[in-house]
Chain A
Amino acid sequence: MTISHFPAMILFSLLVSIVFGVLSKDTPRERMSYGAKIFVAFVGVGLVLGWIMYPMP
């Protein structure tokens, strides 16, 4: 299976944020909210780091 960087990052973020959400919080609502925050943070930080490192050789 060949996958490019961005889908690999999205899939990774999705699966990890699901597990973090399930393990970290107690109610379904808190889990959804925490999982969504973690997912956005993963993708956001990944994009920002990619943007910062883009000009680097």
Chain B
Amino acid sequence: MANKATQETVSRPVQPKTGTLVWLCVAAWSVPGLGHFLLGRKLRALILFVAIVTMFVLGIAMQGEFFTTSSGSYLQTLGYYGELCVGLAMPIARFFGYTGGNPLFVSADFGTAYLVAAGMLNTLSILDTYDIAVGRKP
């Protein structure tokens, strides 16, 4: 009985500090896959980076729309936060002159879906980083 209790105590993972967790999540948000990379999951990080960034770039190539919070529409505001979840890719695209797409372009709706989905997938990646860091996942 005592031996079993000792084994459970030994196998419990060490909880990281809150500051470390916050920095990991910020890193995971800013660059897709960076949180996994910092935790030593390099292949997983590479796959996530390539998939999410490809999705974002395809969204831009299809003239997807960058939503704003100034429209007053709840759906557009939600879309803005969804796209913002992709991290630094959005301000970088703006820096290089992408003004938010052309809603009249033939593939613009697909592009917008790609942009929002990239943000949502990065949110899942952030949550996965957190789970790995606290020892819930291998």
A-side interface residues toward B, CB under 8 Å? 1-3, 8, 11-12, 15-16, 18-19, 22-23, 26
B-side interface residues toward A, CB under 8 Å? 44, 47-48, 51-52, 54-55, 58, 61-63, 106-107, 110, 113-114, 117, 121, 124-125, 128, 137-138
Q: Name the residue of chain B whose CB is nearest to the CB of A23.
A: B128
Sorted nearest first, the 9 A-B pairs with minimum C-beta distance are: A1-B61, A8-B110, A19-B121, A18-B51, A23-B128, A15-B55, A15-B51, A19-B51, A22-B47
CA distance A23 to B62 in the complex (A): 27
Pick from A1, A19, A26: contact of B125, CB below 8 A.
A19
Contact between chains at B58 and A11 (CB < 8 Å): yes
Q: Is the interface of B mostly helix, strand, loop or mixed?
A: helix
Residues of A within 8 A of B55 (CB): 12, 15-16
Q: Name the residue of chain A whose CB is nearest to the CB of B127.
A: A23
Known: A1-B107, A12-B113. A23 touches B61 (CB 8 A): no
Q: Compute the total of residue contacts between A and B using a CB distance below 8 Å.
A: 48
Q: Name the residue of chain A whose CB is nearest to the CB of B41.
A: A22
CA distance A8 to B117 in the complex (A): 13
Contact between chains at B106 and A19 (CB < 8 Å): no
Contact between chains at A8 and B121 (CB < 8 Å): no
Residues of A within 8 A of B58 (CB): 1, 11
Nearest-CB distance from B97 to chain A (Å)? 16
Q: Provide 15 A-B residue pairs closer than 8 Å at the C-beta atoms, listed in order of the A residue.
A: A1-B107, A2-B62, A2-B106, A3-B62, A12-B55, A12-B113, A15-B54, A15-B55, A15-B117, A19-B47, A19-B48, A19-B51, A19-B52, A19-B125, A22-B47
CA distance A12 to B114 in the complex (A): 7
Contact between chains at A3 and B107 (CB < 8 Å): yes
